Each structure stands twice: as structure tokens, then as C-alpha cells.
Amino acid sequence: DETPPRIITSTPKSGDYVSFEADTFDLSVVTNELATCRWSYDATETYGAMTNNFICNDTFLQPSLSIGYMCSVTLPINNTEGAEENKFYVRCNDQPWLVGTPAESERNANAEPFEFIFTRPTDSITIDSVKPQGEQITTADQFTLNLEVKTSNGALNHTCSYSFSGFDTMIDFFDTGSPGLHLQIVDLKPNKYELYVRCVDETGDFDEEQVSFRVLKKSGAPLISRVWQNFRSEEHTSELQS
């Protein structure tokens, strides 16, 4: 074996967002051969100089996944205000069974590190507005209503859901998935409603809102509530004419 390990994939992937609320997050890498891995903030550090170890529990010919061997680590998040980018460098070394033997120097470590960049949002996902609220007037026994939710901040993908019975029974909006406007058309009978809304981004951060509105039915033709009448006597009319 003369080639160093290669990282096939990772969870999360480089470029993904991490939670605005978290101080740490878990990273798992999958290598094409049994290896040990380490990480550093410094791209120039060699594998031997790195002091932060991954946990690699797989054994030879018994990988965790069909595509390769897994190593995991918990990484810190830079929570300094205004800091969005978290950058880490990972190197792996093969043939771990040679550790402590005269042949340990024959192990093959990565000459170049694998760079991982994770983005922390500048703020957590936020529900900016929910519609409808207040009274909605209809003349029918069933009213078609547009539910509208606006979101901002957070990571790139926003998914909103709603319910009329509580946060335990949520249904995804029909038009949702990105920051901005989320839409759902519902048919409701005249009644008072409690609307529960939850929006979540790909990091798991979420925001919730609860609003009330009423669907009122106006039925029947307009009624005359008051009549004014102007009239004059014939005598008064003749006087005016003369």
C-alpha cells in the first residue's frame, strides 16, 4: 500500500450550514481504506503535528458503510459575532495496525489536507409575518383562504408547516422551501380558528408562531333599517307656487 487514504464523503458536507444556536457539531468522514484521521485549524500542519483526533472504530474488512470506513469527531463552532465561516483541515493516515511496530514509518498520510468549510448563519431563522389574522368575510358555506408566511435569516432552505390543532400535527405548506414567502390554500367553514405555524431550516433551527382569525358568513339580502320621508301639505304647496 503506497497511497494515502482518500475521503469519499462526509456528513455534513463541506459548504453546508451549521446551527446558529449550537456551540459544536458532529462531523463524520468516510475513507476508502481503514485509516486514522486528525484535524487542525492550520492547513500547513502535517498529520504528525496535528493533535485533534477523530474517533475511528472500524476494523479491517469491516467498514461501517458499504462505501468505506467511518471516522467521527465533534468540532467547535466559532460563535464570535459576525463570524460566519468555520474552516477545518483534515488529514488521514492508513494502515493503523502498524502503529507501535517497526514498520510504522511505512504508513501513508495525506500530503495535502482536506479542507472543510461550514457556514454559521448571522441569525437564526425568523418568521416575519403570518396571514390571515382578524376577520375574513364570506357569503358561502365554505371559504377558500390563502395562508401566507414570510421568513428571513437562517440558512438557505426554509420549510414551513401549519396546523389548526397544535404543533404536534403539522402539515407542510404546498409552496415552501426557500427564504421569503410560503403559501398554502385551504378551504374553511365559517368558524374561529387557531393557526399554528413552524418554519425550520436545514440546520434544524426553527421558529414558531400562533395566530387567531375568524371566518364570518354574511347571509341574506340587505335589510332596510330606517326610512326617511319628505312630504308637504297641498295648502303649503299652493302657497309656494303662488
Percent of the chain with pLDDT over 90: 79
At residue 63, the pLDDT reads 95
At residue 125, the pLDDT reads 97
As a whole number, mean pLDDT of residues 28-53 equals 97
179-236 pLDDT tens trace: 999 999 999 999 999 999 999 999 999 999 999 999 998 875 555 656 666 655 555 5
As a whole number, mean pLDDT of residues 86-113 equals 96
Answer whether 127's CB lies under 8 Å from 150's CB: yes
At residue 217, the pLDDT reads 86
65-98 pLDDT tens trace: 999 999 999 999 987 766 688 999 999 999 999 9
At residue 24, the pLDDT reads 95
Rounded CA gap, 78 and 25, in Å? 11
Could you tell me the pLDDT band of residue 162, with boundaries at 50, 70 and 90? very high
Residue with cell 425568523: 126
pLDDT at 242 exceeding the cut of 50: no
At residue 173, the pLDDT reads 97
What are the strands of the beta sheet with 24-31, ordered from one edge?
7-11, 24-31, 69-76
Q: Which runs of E-coded beta strand occur in 77-165?
A: 85-94, 114-119, 126-131, 134-138, 143-152, 158-163
As a whole number, mean pLDDT of residues 123-133 equals 95
Residue 207: count of CB within 10 angstroms of its CB: 21
